[in-house]
Structure 1
Amino acid sequence: MDIKDPLVNRGADTIISSVQNPRIKQWTELQSRKGREKQGRFLIEGIHLVQEALRSDLIPEVVAYSDERAEACADLLQEAAERGMELVQVTEAVLAKCTDTQTPQPVFAVVPKLPWRAADLISASEQDGLVVVIDGIQDPGNLGTIIRSADAVGASGVLLGKGTVDLYNPKTVRSTMGSLFHLPIVQGDLAQWLPEAASRGIQVAATRLEDAVSLYDYDFRRPTWFVIGNEGQGVSAEVQQLVQCHVRIPMQGRAESLNAAMAATVVLFEAMRQRGFKPNNNS
């Protein structure tokens, strides 16, 4: 595809080359949590993430791409143009200013924040839903991995409690590998929503070493909200009071524990197994 193609440039005759451009300043603000909260938007970087956004219900507001590397993302730009996206050419200097990585990808997009609400998770859980509840995870990579695992097992959604790392942190967004576009992810007060879930007949469980049943003896076939706690402290004392049952992950080796993302993944795949996972030809 020719980068001069009017379908791509939509009539634009110039390239944004100044980092002082008002739009560039606005996009640069999205690197901070304050800026993201102010604008209600976040930035995604790279061909894969932009493709995932284009194919979701959360349509990007604008797609910006390198004037020097347009051919590297030609198919993506064509798809975006055909869907009526605003496409903006920028220089490499502008690309570096707007993005978070040391070696910027050739394309980024500005996307509105996810529209989901905690009440949506209640509705999705009342039949046989499986929701991952996050209580204070601090590492962006851990949160992103948990979201990917939730997506992989077909979970109903993810609820992020207070004190959890920002979902829209660039490192979190990258580590989800696009899974944040595949299932509802919401922020909410666990003190409000865990009791609400329990009142609707949804079982609320969490991991703990003491006074806990084996993961493999717990019934995940029922509607379940499962709480994963902070990397160092685990589930907070306040949230533990709202949990109905505690489970532990049996281990035969000498390791005392798993990190939060690994523990969540083990739990989620056991839940999927119990719920009658049937391999298909793509598995």
Structure 2
Amino acid sequence: MHVVLVEPEIHVNTGNIARTCVCTGTPLHLVHPLGFSIDARAVRRAGLDYWHLLDLHEWTDFAALRRAYPTQRFLFIETVGQRRYDEVAYRPDDFLVFGRETKGLPQALLEGECVVRIPMVSPARSLNLSNCVALVLYEALRQCGFPQLR
């Protein structure tokens, strides 16, 4: 499993997501531009002492990430998804893609892709990004039998 954050804006969310990735053995891919520096003390504090354990990959843009993994399946998590996140049959090598906190994923990235959503009541706009990542990642890992987790 891989977690991808496309242009994340809030360092605390990224730090929390990094900690979740470390605890689950999941690589984290950050697609630039970022709304903060990953060297920032606040990111390291949010990730606590886990940051140095993170399997971190940085990409100049989403196209570079796709070129590096041309045969992998990318699942896009966005409020406009037609299927719920729990209706997907996850595979161990899936890439779970999440967008910016304020704008989500660009529409151009979603066209022709598998887009899934987390159900919520209206008029709620969205859950916190770090909560979304944890929710979907743990469902995907559960379906895969929590590989290498105790």
Whether the 8 Å CA contact 1:145–1:261 is kept in 2: the answer is yes
Aligned 1:92-107 pairs, distance under 5 A:
none
Aligned 1:47-126 pairs, distance under 5 A:
none
1:192 aligns with 2:64: yes
Aligned mates of 1:254, 1:265 — CA distance in 2:
22
- 1:192 to 1:154, Cα distance in 2 relative to 1, 3 A: same
Whether the 8 Å CA contact 1:191–1:239 is kept in 2: the answer is no
The Cα of 1:225 is off from its aligned counterpart by: 0.9
The Cα of 1:251 is off from its aligned counterpart by: 3.1
Of 142, 145, 148, the residue aligned with 1:273 is 142
Aligned mates of 2:14, 2:119 — CA distance in 1:
23
Query: Over residues 145-165 of structure 1, what are the superposed CA-to-partner deviations in whole Å (9 max), with x where a residue is unaligned?
Result: 11111122221x111111223
1:162 aligns with 2:37: no
- Give the partner amino acid of 2:22: D
Aligned mates of 1:250, 1:180 — CA distance in 2:
31
Aligned mates of 1:237, 1:195 — CA distance in 2:
19
Instruction: Please list every run of 5 or more consecutive structure 2 residues that lacks an aligned counterpart in the other structure.
Output: none
Match of 2:97 in 1: 227
Q: Could you say what secondary structure the match of 2:4 adopts? A: strand
Q: Could you say which structure has the greater relative contact order, defined with CA pairs below 8 angstroms and 6 or more residues apart?
A: 2
Query: Over residues 215-237 of structure 1, what are the superposed CA-to-partner deviations in whole Å (9 max), with x where a residue is unaligned?
Result: 11112224111111111100123
Aligned residues: 147
- 1:254 to 1:152, Cα distance in 2 relative to 1, 3 A: farther
The Cα of 1:238 is off from its aligned counterpart by: 4.1
Aligned mates of 1:253, 1:266 — CA distance in 2:
19
State the identity as a percent: 24
1:181 aligns with 2:46: no
Whether the 8 Å CA contact 1:135–1:236 is kept in 2: the answer is no
- Give the partner amino acid of 1:239: L
Alignment RMSD = 2.2
Per the normalisation by structure 2, the TM-score is 0.85
Aligned mates of 1:229, 1:205 — CA distance in 2:
12
Of 143, 161, 174, the residue aligned with 2:14 is 143
- Give the partner amino acid of 2:139: E
Instruction: Please list every run of 5 or more consecutive structure 1 residues that lacks an aligned counterpart in the other structure.
Output: 1-129
Aligned mates of 1:211, 1:234 — CA distance in 2:
12
Per the normalisation by structure 1, the TM-score is 0.48
Q: Could you say what secondary structure the match of 1:178 adopts? A: helix
- Give the partner amino acid of 1:208: E
Whether the 8 Å CA contact 1:149–1:265 is kept in 2: the answer is yes
Whether the 8 Å CA contact 2:79–2:126 is kept in 1: the answer is no
